[in-house]
Structure 1
């Protein structure tokens, strides 16, 4: 089995020694993904938009890995404010409605940067859908 490392090109990946995703066929292991908007190069204030941005990035790299959202078998959510849980869940439910992977939702004190409100980590099994 060949291991494929996917990178966004972020200098943080090299500094911290991680990849955006690791493909070890038939598995795809996605690093925690925050609500960073790569088109504007900013993190929006709105937790709903941050959550949508997470999924946009996740979908992009799953596709690059030869996979899709439908192949997600495990998801972990990290939120910094319990009050955001309902809004985050609503967006995630729209995206994962029929996929229904195993999941864990954690409320934590903080993420790497204070403006980050949500981080999503997924594992996908290619061809599982």
Structure 2
């Protein structure tokens, strides 16, 4: 049997590990009710119409109410892994568990673009 070069072995192991990680994350079921108490940090930017963040570049922050939950979870994982480049979102997503991400995603999926600015009232 022919041995794979070390870089190919490393790439294979990494892809298998990520596949397992994402498969495990896909099994986590979130709830909007649990997400309501977890979005306090998100609302500071994502609940302000036409909000623009100026770090690291001028960036128009999207309103995420009504967005598909799967998309939100995928985006959070991409920030966490560094595939999406925004230092604030990377730091925030890095502090979230799989359950937190699923709950937050379900909360925002249950909202609309015109949802109340303060979800904790």
Give the TM-score range, shorter chain.
under 0.3
Instruction: Select the structure with the greater relative contact order (CA < 8 A; seq sep ≥ 6).
Output: 2
Please give the TM-score of this superposition, normalised by the length of structure 2: 0.25
Larger helix fraction of residues: 2
Q: More strand by proportion, 1 or 2?
A: 1
**Structure whose CA Rg is larger:** 2
TM-score, normalised to structure 1, is 0.24
